[in-house]
Every structure is written in C-alpha cells, then in structure tokens.
Amino acid sequence: MTEITAPKSPVTSAEFADEIREQLKYSQGVTAEQATAADVYVAAAKAVRNHLADAWFTTQADTVNGNTKAVGYLSAEFLMGKQLENALLNAGLTEQFDEAVKSLGFQPKDIVDAEYEPGLGNGGLGRLAACFIDSLASLGVPAFGYGIQYKYGIFKQKFDEDGKQVETPDYWLNNEEPWGHIDYNRDQKVSFGGEVVEEDGKKVWKPAWSVRAVPVDYLVPGYKSQRVNTLRLWTAKSYDEFDLLAFNKSEYMDAVKPQVKAENISKILYPEDSTKVGKELRLEQQYFFVSASLHDAIRVFYPGQDKPDLTTFPNKITFQLNDTHPVIGIPELMRILIDEYGYDWDTAWGVTQKTFNYTCHTLLPEALEVWPASLIGELLPRHLEIIEKINEQFEAELKAKGVDEATAKDMAIYTGDSVRMAYLATYGGSHVNGVAELHSQLLKDVTLKNFSDAYPDKFTNVTNGVTPRRFVKLANPGLSDLITEGLGTDKWVSDLEMLEGLVPLAQDDEFVKKFAAVKAANKHAFVGFAKDHYGLDIDENTMFNTMVKRLHEYKRQSLKILAVISKYAAIKNGTVSADDILPRTVFFGAKAAPGYYLAKMTIQLINNVSKVVNNDPDVKGKLAVHMLPNYNIEMAQNLIPATELDEQISQAGKEASGTGNMKFALNGALTVGTLDGANVEIRERVGAENFFLFGMTVEEVDKLYADGYNPAKYYEADPRLKQAIDLVAGGTFSNGDRNAYAPLVSDWLTKDWFMTLADFSAYADIQAEIEKLYRDPLEWNRKAVLNVANSGFFSSDRSIEDYLERIWHTGPLA
C-alpha cells in the first residue's frame, strides 16, 4: 500500500441511490416508496458495508500472509456508538449518501439518527476499546477486536417522578442490526465444569457442559487507509437445542433449560464497573469469549493445520488484555498448548508470556478483580490447577530473585482462597501499562509496587487517546471546517498533532471570533437537540457547563452539585448582586450502577435540585441545572461540542486517565479540574494559564488521610459549604423531608472518603476566576483555541503508536 486514500468507492450518488433501492427491494422487501427512514438506514448500511467488503478481504489475507504481527485486543466491552456516519466517512461515501437519500425523499440526518446505538460497554474502558480499533485500522495495523455480543447492553436510564434512576433493558437487537455478520461456520466450542483426571500420566479435563460460541463479525474500516479490520463479538448458542425427552413429557421449561443456561452467557453486560461482583456468570462470560478468541486466532493463523508450530504464535499475534476481565486467557493458552497440542510446561510458558500484555484501568482496589478459588475450581478445574502451578513457579522465581518471604506472600497470585487477576496478568505477560503518566507512576509506586520492584522492565505508560474521526470530524463539523481552513489542509484528521499549527491563530482575533461563532452554533444546535430529545427549554445565552461520566463517589458529582446549591443560595440570599451573576446552564449526564446506593441517591439529588432551581423565578435566566437522562455516545457527540466549561474534578489519585477530558479539550471547552489522571498532561500541554486548576494533589490527599480526615471540620469552616449541606439536610430539595438525603448527608459529614468537603472551598473560589474570564469572550475563546491547538497529542492514533513501539513491537501492513 503506497497511496493513502479511502477504500475505492467509484460510485456516483445516483448509483449509490440505486444500491440503496436494491437493498430495500431485495433485502428489506419494501419499495423505495414504501420505505421509512428506518428502512433506508438499514439499506444504506448494507450498501456501504458492501463497499468495504473487498478491502476487508484483502486486509484479512494480508493479515494472515503478511509478515507483520497482528494485534488482538481482548475486551469485555466495545462501546462503539452508531456506525453509519463513521462507515460512510471511512468509505469515502458521505457525499454520495447525502445526495442519494435526498433523491429518495429523505433528510440524511434522519437516516443517520434512525440507527439504534449499541451500548456494549459501561464507560471509558469500553469507549477506549472502540477508539483503539478505529485507530488500528486507520494506521493500517492488522488487528482483531475480540469481545462479546451481549444481547442486552448497558441499561437505558430514565428518571421517575421523584427523580430516581430507573433502569430499563436495552434490547438493541429488537430491530434489524445490519452491521454484524453472524458466521455459523467459524464457531468454537467452549466447555465448563466437570473434573480433571489422569490418563497415561497426563492430565485430562472432562468438562460437564459446553456452549457453542458463534462469531458475529463487524467491519472496522480505517480512515483513508484502505484497511478494514475485524471486530469479532461472540454470541453463545446451545448445542442441545431442545431436550426432546423432556419436551414429550410436556415439561416445556425443562426442555429449554440447557438452551437458556448456555445462551445466558452472552445475554447481559454487567452494569457495575467498579465493585467486585464475584459472580459466576461474569467468570463464565470472561472465559467464554477469551477461550473462543484464542482458538479463533489459532484457526486464522494456522489454517487447516492439525499440528501447527505454536511456538511461532507470539510472532503472529500479540494479545492486549483490556483490564483484568480477559486474564483467564493466560491459563487458557497454557491449557491449549499443553493439553490440546502436547507442549511441555516451559515451552508453553515461554509462548504464553510472550503473547500477552496487560493494561490496568483503575486505581480503586475494589475494581481489581479477585476470584474465589472455589468458583474457578468448579467452573474451570483444569485452569485452577494451572494457576496453582504458575503460582508455585512464581514463588520460586521471587525466591531466586531474593525477594523476602513476607513480600512474596503479599504478591501471591493464588492465596489458597482466591486468585488475584491483576497479579496473574502482571506475571503472565510481557508488559503492564497504566493509562496516563500519573496513573502509571502510581501503579509502580503503590498498587503494583512489589511487582514493579521485582520486574521493573515490565512497566510502562501509554496515555489514553480518543479518535478524532468520531469526536471531532463527525461530532463537530463546524470546528472541523474551521481547523481545515486555518491549517489549509484536512490532513489533521489522521495526524492530529498538526493542530499545533493553530497556535499562532489564537492571536488572530478574526480567527478567534470564527471559533466563537462555531461554538455558538453548536450551542444553538444542542438547544434543538435537548428540545427534541428531552423537551427542555435551554437558554443558549448562558455559559454551558458540563459534567458527564459514570456516577461514582470518587468522580465527585457531589462536589459539583454542592457548588451549584451554594450558588443558588447566594442568589436567593442576595449575597451576590444581580449584575455579578454570570448566567450558567449546568448539564449533568451519568448512569449509576443499579446497586450503587449513594450514586443513585446523588442522581436523585441532582434531579431535585434541578426541579427547585429551574422553577424558581428568582434565579430565572441566571442558573439552570439539567440532569440529562441516558448519557451515551450520541449525547456525547452532541453535548461536548456545545460545552464551554468541562468538569474533571475527581479526587487526585483516583481517576486513572479520563478520556472525556480529552474530547472536551479537543472541542474547545476549558477544563476546571484537579491534578488527576490525564488532566495533568492536558494541563501541561494546553498551558497552566489555559486550565482552571484547583484542589489537593495526590501527596496532599495522602497526607490528609494519614493525619486523620475529619470532613465536619470543613463543613464548619466554610459558610458556603455549610449552607449548601444544610439546605440538602433541611429538605429544600425533598419537599421539606429532612430524611430524604440523610444517608448522603451523613456520609459527607462523617466519612467523605473522597474528600469532597476538603476540596470544596478551592472549587468554589475558582468559580470567580472562571466567571471573570468568561465575561471577556475574546480572551475565553483564545484560550479555548489554544486548548484545541495543543490537544493533538490526545489522539488515539498516538496512543496506538505508543503501544506499537513500547509494547506490541509491530506496525502497519506493508
């Protein structure tokens, strides 16, 4: 491949319209006249998919035959977002599509909107996987994303009359889903349970039951790379479709039982993303997709070979473990090599260690998976034996390295009771990385300190990134055009550090004003979106201030809502004069894990603050608060480009990286944030003077914990904070009910593990600085332009380049 262009799509819009008509007629069974927007969406999706097919086949052939090692990205989540616009962009068919659907009597936007967003992820970790496979394809690196096609994705969120979160199932496959191609002929058998016996001196696993893993293939088109990779998501099917004997006795439920059990495995995405669940089904899911994927890779790279030379496996493909969820792959590959292919332990270990690398995405100890050994033993008895043996070998290795016994005990992979997946991943692979500089440092200094001492060379950092195709080019066409105008080229879309070329333009008032006009247009567009989707009336002549992310105590939505309440009180009390009030609209978007009590209560509080504030004539035009339901990729694509001030206010040392922060900076929002995760690097790059920093550092947080933290002291010390908490406790946001938020109030005043109260004063103080700058639109927007110009580093293309160089040691296909 020399010339970098879009995959060949030599069609005119008239021809593309014909292709859509053909799909409508022969695949949907409707005429163009009968077709609805939903029909045209499906037809257009199939038509664009056809255009990608040839590039997909060549990429597959080159992946197998080429001399470039491929990447296997093993992830329990891929939060892809809607596909049509992205596929059109990468196939070079956007204009043809626009014209074609108009000629069929539709608006392009209505067709794009007709797609149902798949929600196969919880948040940042799943979205990162989606950004990474986009970048791998765009860079021309042969890669497979491997995961699960959950029947139900992340729940849909609604609010009831009391403002409480209500979860409803996300049955995204209820409508025709044109992207996934189910391939019954490339299935894999995945087995569970049973026992291990010895036969002729060899261990033989006799499983009790098996499921059929069937792949559903999604095309992953690169931007202007002519490459199309594969996202292979497994769905579970039963082998024993039907127990006829039971059925004949008309015990219908018994007849379908085996089917239900098998198909349950890929039925639902776990909506928790930090608490350890220790649930059997989750381990089944993990083993299911990892075992199928490893066997699939062997099938792909050693086609038709009964006795492949698997010592070459790590030269064919390198597997990235996206967090601990796929770590059972380490003992599974050992088992495959030893039990299925007859390799000895040492050879198998050499291959396995070379094959895997592990990315850690958290710092919260409770999010590091630990499985009860009894559960693994029941479900995967052979794997438990292998894990025990890995642990023995590990202990011997530590001893030989001179690690003392107590430390070695702390490092145990297998404790006798449980298996620590992060430790297994660290020992069982070649590299371990954190997802931002600070996070990687903390992994070495704290979370995995003993491991970093024993194996210093394993540890590295790869700072996260986001795809500029979806999160700038598609989400923000106005800004994209302005960037292209400013740089005189659109090459920045695949080379984001070119944005630096905008730095001088930040001094050009005309350019800054054009930027401000784009932002105003995006705000206007979001007002329309919010009216259509949520029935809200939003005043676009207010500052748009946004906090969107999963709801977690450590992310501190509480801090934001307390500051909003304090502002509300100040306006009500007349502590601030009307002239001094900067009109603001505050947007929240956040899903809480269904079982996370305080998180759900925080949502309820935000909703009720919203009700009180938005209906109070005293603050009309000055302050509005909206808790937008069901935050997802679509909302992100609409809200981020319209945002002026972005909140990244986690307690220092808790947010591994954050990727929303990158999306906002790239779309010209200014950040108010703590020195946490990738905020640190964003601030370094965009310049301290273009970032609103507040709050304690990691060191200060640690010291305060060590000295003994007493939140009540902060409550007493800052009257603004006291007043805000008193309003919550006094029933202002619960129709006078003083008990409604008692658990939350009590947590703030007595525990406050993430030190919201300790950071409140600094956070409230910095608002004056923010508002002062906002009153000077030219200066505000100049800083916003500088945020865009200096955020090119946060492209996921750059993250992938770093993985290639530091971890995978591979590159694009020739």
Residues of this chain that interact with ligand 26V (CB under 6 A) are: 122-125, 128, 270, 272-274, 276-277, 323, 361-362, 367, 369, 435, 464, 655-659, 677
Residue for token pair 């879009």: 6
Q: Say if residues 70 and 317 touch (Cβ distance below 8 Å).
A: yes
Nearer to ligand 26V, 268 or 565 (CB): 268
549 among known catalytic residues: yes
β-partners of residue 74 are 146, 321
β-partners of residue 145 are 73, 231
**Inter-CA distances, 478 with 521, 525, 700, 731, Å:** 8, 11, 42, 44
Provide the sign of the torsion angle of the four alpha carbons 5, 9, 14, 16, taken in this order.
negative
| Helical spans, DSSP H, in 535-617 | 557-573, 597-614
Q: Report, in Å, the least distance between residue 768 CB and ligand 26V.
A: 29
Q: Report, in Å, the least distance between residue 678 CB and ligand 26V.
A: 7
**Rounded to the nearest 5°, which phi and psi values hold at 166?**
-120, 130
Nearer to ligand 26V, 357 or 659 (CB): 659
Instruction: Give the Cα separation of 352 and 632 in Å (integer).
Output: 37
CA angle 428, 430, 431 (to 5 degrees): 110
Instruction: Give the Cα separation of 360 and 421 in Å (integer).
Output: 11
Tell me the one-letter amino acid at 316: K
Q: Report, in Å, the least distance between residue 415 CB and ligand 26V.
A: 18
Q: Report, in Å, the least distance between residue 435 CB and ligand 26V.
A: 4
Question: Where would I find the beta strands (DSSP E) of 622-772?
Answer: 623-628, 645-648, 670-673, 692-693
CA 353 to chain centre: 27
Q: Say if residues 149 and 347 touch (Cβ distance below 8 Å).
A: no
295 among known catalytic residues: no
Nearer to ligand 26V, 554 or 709 (CB): 554
Q: Report, in Å, the least distance between residue 273 CB and ligand 26V.
A: 4
Furthest-apart CA atoms within the chain: distance in Å: 88
Nearer to ligand 26V, 39 or 369 (CB): 369
Q: Report, in Å, the least distance between residue 406 CB and ligand 26V.
A: 28
Nearer to ligand 26V, 319 or 596 (CB): 596
**Rounded to the nearest 5°, which phi and psi values hold at 776?**
-115, 85
Phi-psi region of 108 (alpha: psi -120 to 50; beta: other; left: phi over 0): alpha
Instruction: Give the Cα separation of 683 and 606 in Å (integer).
Output: 29
Q: Tokens in use for 534?
A: 């949520």
Q: Report, in Å, the least distance between residue 108 CB and ligand 26V.
A: 32
Q: Report, in Å, the least distance between residue 676 CB and ligand 26V.
A: 9
Nearer to ligand 26V, 293 or 359 (CB): 359
Instruction: Give the Cα separation of 18 and 627 in Å (integer).
Output: 44
Nearer to ligand 26V, 367 or 586 (CB): 367
Catalytic-labelled residue, pool 325, 361, 470, 798: 361
Burial pattern 326-340, b for ≥16 Cβ within 10 A else e, equals bbbbbbbbbbbbbbe
Q: Report, in Å, the least distance between residue 762 CB and ligand 26V.
A: 22
Q: Say if residues 104 and 20 touch (Cβ distance below 8 Å).
A: yes
CB atoms within 10 A of CB 430: 18
Nearer to ligand 26V, 345 or 554 (CB): 554
Nearer to ligand 26V, 538 or 662 (CB): 662
Instruction: Give the Cα separation of 205 and 182 in Å (integer).
Output: 30
- DSSP secondary structure letters along 304-336: T-SS--GGGHHHHEEEEEESSTTTTHHHHHHHI
Nearer to ligand 26V, 285 or 608 (CB): 285
Q: Report, in Å, the least distance between residue 502 CB and ligand 26V.
A: 25
CA 50 to chain centre: 28
Instruction: Give the Cα separation of 695 and 693 in Å (integer).
Output: 7
CA 664 to chain centre: 15
Q: Report, in Å, the least distance between residue 677 CB and ligand 26V.
A: 5
| Helical spans, DSSP H, in 401-436 | 405-410, 421-428
Nearer to ligand 26V, 593 or 627 (CB): 593
Catalytic-labelled residue, pool 324, 447, 585, 659: 659
663 among known catalytic residues: yes
Tell me the one-letter amino acid at 142: P
Q: Report, in Å, the least distance between residue 482 CB and ligand 26V.
A: 28
Query: Going by C-beta distance under 8 Å and a sequence separation of 6 or more, which residues neighbour residue 762?
Result: 694, 695, 696
Of all residues in this chain, which one has the CB nearest to ligand 26V in the complex? 124
Nearer to ligand 26V, 367 or 499 (CB): 367
User: 181: part of which helix (H) or strand (E)?
Assistant: strand 181-182
523 among known catalytic residues: no
555 among known catalytic residues: yes
**Inter-CA distances, 336 with 190, 205, 348, Å:** 12, 11, 9
**Inter-CA distances, 469 with 137, 157, 181, 633, 663, Å:** 12, 27, 24, 14, 11
Catalytic-labelled residue, pool 469, 470, 556, 663: 663
CA 452 to chain centre: 27
Q: Report, in Å, the least distance between residue 52 CB and ligand 26V.
A: 28
Q: Helix 280-301 crosses helix 37-65 at what angle (to 10 degrees)?
A: 60
**Rounded to the nearest 5°, which phi and psi values hold at 320?**
-95, 125
Catalytic-labelled residue, pool 21, 69, 151, 550: 550
Nearer to ligand 26V, 129 or 454 (CB): 129
Catalytic-labelled residue, pool 439, 469, 549, 567: 549
**Rounded to the nearest 5°, which phi and psi values hold at 787?**
-65, -45
Catalytic-labelled residue, pool 382, 519, 555, 782: 555
User: What dihedral do alpha carbons 440, 446, 448, 449 form, nearest 10°?
Assistant: 110
Catalytic residue ranges: 361, 549-550, 555, 659, 663
